[in-house]
Structure 1
Protein backbone atom coordinates (compact mmCIF):
# COMPACT_ATOMS: atom_id res chain seq x y z
CA UNK A 1 0.00 0.00 0.00
CA UNK A 2 2.82 2.38 0.88
CA UNK A 3 4.46 1.74 -2.48
CA UNK A 4 1.18 2.46 -4.23
CA UNK A 5 0.83 5.82 -2.39
CA UNK A 6 4.39 6.73 -3.28
CA UNK A 7 3.68 5.84 -6.90
CA UNK A 8 0.47 7.95 -6.86
CA UNK A 9 2.40 10.89 -5.40
CA UNK A 10 4.96 10.57 -8.19
CA UNK A 11 2.19 10.49 -10.78
CA UNK A 12 0.55 13.54 -9.21
CA UNK A 13 3.89 15.39 -9.10
CA UNK A 14 4.52 14.51 -12.73
CA UNK A 15 1.08 15.82 -13.67
CA UNK A 16 1.65 19.01 -11.72
CA UNK A 17 5.10 19.41 -13.24
CA UNK A 18 3.59 18.88 -16.67
CA UNK A 19 0.94 21.53 -16.02
CA UNK A 20 3.52 23.91 -14.61
CA UNK A 21 5.82 23.26 -17.55
CA UNK A 22 2.97 23.91 -19.99
CA UNK A 23 2.12 27.17 -18.23
CA UNK A 24 5.79 28.16 -18.30
CA UNK A 25 5.95 27.38 -22.02
CA UNK A 26 2.87 29.54 -22.63
CA UNK A 27 4.37 32.35 -20.58
CA UNK A 28 7.68 32.01 -22.43
CA UNK A 29 5.88 32.24 -25.77
CA UNK A 30 4.26 35.53 -24.74
CA UNK A 31 7.51 36.84 -23.33
CA UNK A 32 9.38 35.81 -26.49
CA UNK A 33 6.76 37.53 -28.61
CA UNK A 34 7.03 40.71 -26.54
CA UNK A 35 10.81 40.56 -26.63
CA UNK A 36 10.82 39.99 -30.39
CA UNK A 37 8.49 42.92 -30.95
CA UNK A 38 10.53 45.05 -28.58
CA UNK A 39 13.77 44.06 -30.25
CA UNK A 40 12.49 44.96 -33.69
CA UNK A 41 11.35 48.39 -32.54
CA UNK A 42 14.52 48.88 -30.52
CA UNK A 43 16.55 47.73 -33.50
CA UNK A 44 14.87 50.31 -35.73
CA UNK A 45 15.51 53.01 -33.14
CA UNK A 46 19.10 51.87 -32.65
CA UNK A 47 19.70 51.71 -36.39
CA UNK A 48 18.37 55.24 -36.89
CA UNK A 49 20.50 56.47 -34.02
CA UNK A 50 23.57 54.73 -35.45
CA UNK A 51 22.97 56.14 -38.92
CA UNK A 52 22.43 59.62 -37.48
CA UNK A 53 25.71 59.30 -35.61
CA UNK A 54 27.48 58.13 -38.75
CA UNK A 55 26.00 61.06 -40.65
CA UNK A 56 27.57 63.45 -38.14
CA UNK A 57 30.88 61.61 -38.33
CA UNK A 58 30.72 61.79 -42.13
CA UNK A 59 31.12 65.57 -41.92
CA UNK A 60 34.82 64.77 -41.41
CA UNK A 61 36.43 62.98 -44.34
CA UNK A 62 38.88 61.24 -41.99
CA UNK A 63 35.97 59.06 -40.83
CA UNK A 64 34.82 57.99 -44.28
CA UNK A 65 36.99 54.90 -44.60
CA UNK A 66 35.68 53.48 -41.32
CA UNK A 67 32.08 54.28 -42.28
CA UNK A 68 32.48 52.60 -45.65
CA UNK A 69 34.31 49.59 -44.20
CA UNK A 70 31.48 49.22 -41.66
CA UNK A 71 28.92 48.95 -44.49
CA UNK A 72 27.49 52.41 -43.82
CA UNK A 73 26.80 53.08 -47.49
CA UNK A 74 25.32 49.63 -48.02
CA UNK A 75 22.92 49.91 -45.08
CA UNK A 76 21.82 53.45 -45.96
CA UNK A 77 21.22 52.52 -49.60
CA UNK A 78 19.32 49.35 -48.65
CA UNK A 79 16.94 51.35 -46.46
CA UNK A 80 16.31 53.89 -49.20
CA UNK A 81 15.77 51.08 -51.71
CA UNK A 82 13.21 49.47 -49.38
CA UNK A 83 11.17 52.65 -49.50
CA UNK A 84 11.66 52.96 -53.26
CA UNK A 85 10.43 49.41 -53.83
CA UNK A 86 7.69 49.14 -51.22
CA UNK A 87 6.62 52.73 -50.60
CA UNK A 88 7.05 54.86 -47.54
CA UNK A 89 6.63 52.80 -44.40
CA UNK A 90 6.05 54.61 -41.14
CA UNK A 91 8.27 52.11 -39.35
CA UNK A 92 11.28 52.95 -41.50
CA UNK A 93 12.80 56.36 -41.10
CA UNK A 94 15.29 56.97 -43.88
CA UNK A 95 16.18 60.57 -43.10
CA UNK A 96 19.30 59.47 -41.23
CA UNK A 97 20.25 57.30 -44.21
CA UNK A 98 19.79 60.25 -46.55
CA UNK A 99 21.85 62.52 -44.28
CA UNK A 100 24.66 59.97 -44.19
CA UNK A 101 24.80 59.71 -47.98
CA UNK A 102 24.55 63.50 -48.41
CA UNK A 103 27.52 64.04 -46.09
CA UNK A 104 29.56 61.27 -47.72
CA UNK A 105 28.87 62.75 -51.15
CA UNK A 106 29.56 66.34 -50.11
CA UNK A 107 32.71 65.71 -48.08
CA UNK A 108 33.90 62.48 -49.65
CA UNK A 109 36.55 61.64 -52.16
CA UNK A 110 35.73 60.97 -55.79
CA UNK A 111 35.95 57.23 -54.99
CA UNK A 112 33.39 57.59 -52.21
CA UNK A 113 31.09 59.59 -54.46
CA UNK A 114 31.44 56.99 -57.19
CA UNK A 115 30.71 54.15 -54.78
CA UNK A 116 27.44 55.81 -53.74
CA UNK A 117 26.49 56.60 -57.32
CA UNK A 118 27.12 52.96 -58.25
CA UNK A 119 24.98 51.81 -55.32
CA UNK A 120 21.85 53.83 -56.03
CA UNK A 121 20.70 55.35 -59.29
CA UNK A 122 19.62 58.92 -59.86
CA UNK A 123 16.41 57.52 -61.38
CA UNK A 124 15.56 55.83 -58.08
CA UNK A 125 16.07 59.08 -56.21
CA UNK A 126 13.98 61.04 -58.69
CA UNK A 127 11.21 58.47 -58.22
CA UNK A 128 11.28 59.14 -54.47
CA UNK A 129 11.43 62.95 -54.55
CA UNK A 130 7.64 63.22 -54.96
CA UNK A 131 7.01 61.30 -51.73
CA UNK A 132 5.17 63.65 -49.37
CA UNK A 133 7.05 62.40 -46.32
CA UNK A 134 10.62 62.31 -47.58
CA UNK A 135 10.59 64.36 -50.78
CA UNK A 136 12.52 67.30 -49.36
CA UNK A 137 15.22 65.05 -47.89
CA UNK A 138 15.51 63.13 -51.16
CA UNK A 139 15.89 66.42 -53.02
CA UNK A 140 18.91 67.20 -50.80
CA UNK A 141 20.36 63.83 -51.75
CA UNK A 142 19.73 64.48 -55.45
CA UNK A 143 21.49 67.84 -55.13
CA UNK A 144 24.48 66.20 -53.41
CA UNK A 145 24.43 63.39 -55.98
CA UNK A 146 24.55 65.77 -58.93
CA UNK A 147 26.71 68.53 -57.43
CA UNK A 148 28.67 67.44 -54.34
CA UNK A 149 30.79 70.60 -54.16
CA UNK A 150 27.77 72.88 -54.05
CA UNK A 151 26.21 70.73 -51.31
CA UNK A 152 29.46 70.86 -49.34
CA UNK A 153 29.44 74.66 -49.48
CA UNK A 154 25.78 74.76 -48.44
CA UNK A 155 26.40 72.47 -45.44
CA UNK A 156 29.42 74.50 -44.36
CA UNK A 157 27.43 77.74 -44.55
CA UNK A 158 24.58 76.21 -42.57
CA UNK A 159 26.99 74.94 -39.91
CA UNK A 160 28.62 78.38 -39.65
CA UNK A 161 25.22 79.99 -39.14
CA UNK A 162 24.31 77.40 -36.50
CA UNK A 163 27.54 78.13 -34.63
CA UNK A 164 26.76 81.84 -34.41
CA UNK A 165 23.28 81.29 -33.01
Structure 2
Protein backbone atom coordinates (compact mmCIF):
# COMPACT_ATOMS: atom_id res chain seq x y z
CA UNK A 1 0.00 0.00 0.00
CA UNK A 2 2.87 2.41 0.78
CA UNK A 3 4.15 2.18 -2.79
CA UNK A 4 0.74 3.12 -4.14
CA UNK A 5 0.58 6.16 -1.86
CA UNK A 6 4.00 7.22 -3.08
CA UNK A 7 2.94 6.76 -6.71
CA UNK A 8 -0.18 8.83 -6.07
CA UNK A 9 1.91 11.54 -4.44
CA UNK A 10 4.29 11.56 -7.42
CA UNK A 11 1.39 11.90 -9.87
CA UNK A 12 -0.15 14.76 -7.89
CA UNK A 13 3.15 16.65 -7.62
CA UNK A 14 3.90 16.04 -11.32
CA UNK A 15 0.58 17.64 -12.24
CA UNK A 16 1.29 20.53 -9.89
CA UNK A 17 4.80 21.03 -11.32
CA UNK A 18 3.41 20.98 -14.86
CA UNK A 19 1.06 23.86 -14.04
CA UNK A 20 3.52 26.15 -12.25
CA UNK A 21 7.25 26.72 -12.02
CA UNK A 22 8.74 24.80 -9.12
CA UNK A 23 12.33 24.45 -7.99
CA UNK A 24 13.73 21.05 -7.06
CA UNK A 25 13.38 22.01 -3.40
CA UNK A 26 9.72 22.99 -3.92
CA UNK A 27 9.03 19.67 -5.64
CA UNK A 28 10.69 17.75 -2.82
CA UNK A 29 8.71 19.62 -0.14
CA UNK A 30 5.46 19.20 -2.08
CA UNK A 31 6.11 15.47 -2.47
CA UNK A 32 6.67 15.06 1.28
CA UNK A 33 3.58 17.11 2.13
CA UNK A 34 1.34 15.25 -0.32
CA UNK A 35 2.64 11.85 0.78
CA UNK A 36 2.10 12.73 4.47
CA UNK A 37 -1.41 13.95 3.74
CA UNK A 38 -2.27 10.79 1.80
CA UNK A 39 -0.75 8.63 4.54
CA UNK A 40 -2.75 10.37 7.29
CA UNK A 41 -5.93 10.09 5.25
CA UNK A 42 -5.27 6.38 4.72
CA UNK A 43 -4.69 5.84 8.47
CA UNK A 44 -7.87 7.70 9.32
CA UNK A 45 -9.76 5.61 6.79
CA UNK A 46 -8.36 2.36 8.23
CA UNK A 47 -9.32 3.40 11.77
CA UNK A 48 -12.79 4.47 10.71
CA UNK A 49 -12.17 8.12 11.59
CA UNK A 50 -13.17 10.98 9.37
CA UNK A 51 -10.88 13.89 8.68
CA UNK A 52 -12.70 17.13 9.30
CA UNK A 53 -12.56 19.71 6.54
CA UNK A 54 -10.99 22.35 8.78
CA UNK A 55 -8.50 19.96 10.41
CA UNK A 56 -4.89 20.45 9.44
CA UNK A 57 -3.29 17.31 8.10
CA UNK A 58 0.26 18.56 8.35
CA UNK A 59 2.17 21.64 9.33
CA UNK A 60 4.62 22.92 6.77
CA UNK A 61 8.07 23.58 8.22
CA UNK A 62 8.43 27.21 9.26
CA UNK A 63 4.73 27.97 8.74
CA UNK A 64 2.43 28.95 11.53
CA UNK A 65 -1.36 28.80 11.65
CA UNK A 66 -1.69 32.59 11.99
CA UNK A 67 0.91 33.55 9.40
CA UNK A 68 1.49 37.22 8.66
CA UNK A 69 -0.42 38.10 5.48
CA UNK A 70 2.36 40.34 4.15
CA UNK A 71 4.79 37.41 4.36
CA UNK A 72 2.51 35.52 1.96
CA UNK A 73 3.73 37.81 -0.84
CA UNK A 74 7.16 36.49 -1.74
CA UNK A 75 9.70 37.19 -4.45
CA UNK A 76 8.55 34.46 -6.85
CA UNK A 77 5.07 33.54 -5.59
CA UNK A 78 2.11 34.67 -3.54
CA UNK A 79 0.21 32.36 -1.20
CA UNK A 80 -3.57 32.62 -1.01
CA UNK A 81 -4.44 33.06 2.67
CA UNK A 82 -7.78 31.31 2.14
CA UNK A 83 -6.67 28.01 0.58
CA UNK A 84 -2.84 28.17 0.87
CA UNK A 85 -2.36 27.72 -2.89
CA UNK A 86 0.86 29.19 -4.28
CA UNK A 87 0.42 31.33 -7.41
CA UNK A 88 2.29 34.06 -9.27
CA UNK A 89 -0.72 36.34 -8.90
CA UNK A 90 -3.98 36.21 -6.96
CA UNK A 91 -6.53 37.03 -9.61
CA UNK A 92 -10.11 38.15 -9.11
CA UNK A 93 -11.13 34.88 -10.74
CA UNK A 94 -9.28 32.84 -8.08
CA UNK A 95 -10.71 34.96 -5.27
CA UNK A 96 -14.21 34.43 -6.68
CA UNK A 97 -13.84 30.77 -5.62
CA UNK A 98 -13.75 32.06 -2.04
CA UNK A 99 -16.65 34.48 -2.71
CA UNK A 100 -14.35 37.51 -2.31
CA UNK A 101 -13.36 40.48 -4.41
CA UNK A 102 -9.73 41.65 -4.30
CA UNK A 103 -10.81 44.61 -2.13
CA UNK A 104 -12.67 42.33 0.34
CA UNK A 105 -9.69 39.94 0.45
CA UNK A 106 -7.30 42.80 1.24
CA UNK A 107 -9.56 44.13 3.99
CA UNK A 108 -10.12 40.67 5.47
CA UNK A 109 -6.42 39.86 5.72
CA UNK A 110 -5.16 43.37 6.49
CA UNK A 111 -3.34 44.17 3.25
CA UNK A 112 -2.99 47.83 2.25
CA UNK A 113 -5.54 48.53 -0.50
CA UNK A 114 -2.79 49.63 -2.91
CA UNK A 115 -0.79 46.40 -2.33
CA UNK A 116 -0.65 44.33 -5.53
CA UNK A 117 -1.63 40.69 -5.03
CA UNK A 118 1.20 39.36 -7.17
CA UNK A 119 4.72 38.08 -6.65
CA UNK A 120 7.30 40.85 -6.15
CA UNK A 121 9.20 39.68 -9.22
CA UNK A 122 6.07 40.10 -11.37
CA UNK A 123 5.27 43.51 -9.85
CA UNK A 124 8.83 44.75 -10.51
CA UNK A 125 8.73 43.39 -14.07
CA UNK A 126 5.49 45.26 -14.80
CA UNK A 127 6.84 48.44 -13.21
CA UNK A 128 10.01 48.35 -15.34
CA UNK A 129 7.96 47.67 -18.46
CA UNK A 130 5.63 50.60 -17.75
CA UNK A 131 8.58 52.94 -17.14
CA UNK A 132 10.22 51.78 -20.36
CA UNK A 133 7.06 52.69 -22.29
CA UNK A 134 6.91 56.11 -20.61
CA UNK A 135 3.64 55.58 -18.74
CA UNK A 136 4.55 57.56 -15.59
CA UNK A 137 5.56 60.63 -17.62
CA UNK A 138 2.49 60.38 -19.86
CA UNK A 139 0.28 60.11 -16.78
CA UNK A 140 1.84 63.27 -15.31
CA UNK A 141 1.26 65.14 -18.59
CA UNK A 142 -2.35 63.95 -18.75
CA UNK A 143 -3.06 64.97 -15.15
CA UNK A 144 -1.45 68.40 -15.67
CA UNK A 145 -3.59 69.03 -18.77
CA UNK A 146 -6.70 67.89 -16.94
CA UNK A 147 -5.90 70.24 -14.05
CA UNK A 148 -5.32 73.15 -16.47
CA UNK A 149 -8.60 72.50 -18.29
CA UNK A 150 -10.47 72.40 -14.99
CA UNK A 151 -9.03 75.73 -13.81
CA UNK A 152 -9.78 77.35 -17.20
CA UNK A 153 -13.38 76.13 -17.16
CA UNK A 154 -13.80 77.31 -13.55
CA UNK A 155 -12.57 80.81 -14.49
CA UNK A 156 -14.87 81.18 -17.48
CA UNK A 157 -17.99 83.03 -16.45
CA UNK A 158 -20.77 83.42 -18.97
CA UNK A 159 -20.68 86.96 -20.48
CA UNK A 160 -24.41 87.39 -20.51
CA UNK A 161 -26.86 85.98 -18.06
CA UNK A 162 -29.50 83.54 -19.13
CA UNK A 163 -31.69 84.97 -21.85
CA UNK A 164 -35.30 85.68 -20.95
CA UNK A 165 -37.97 85.96 -23.48
CA UNK A 166 -40.02 89.11 -23.16
CA UNK A 167 -43.69 88.60 -22.66
CA UNK A 168 -45.93 90.08 -25.22
CA UNK A 169 -48.20 92.86 -24.05
CA UNK A 170 -50.89 91.73 -26.42
CA UNK A 171 -53.24 89.08 -25.24
CA UNK A 172 -55.50 87.09 -27.40
CA UNK A 173 -59.01 86.17 -26.43
The TM-score bracket by the shorter chain reads under 0.3
TM-score by length of 2: 0.23
Q: Which has the greater radius of gyration?
A: 2
TM-score by length of 1: 0.23
Which structure carries more helix by proportion?
1
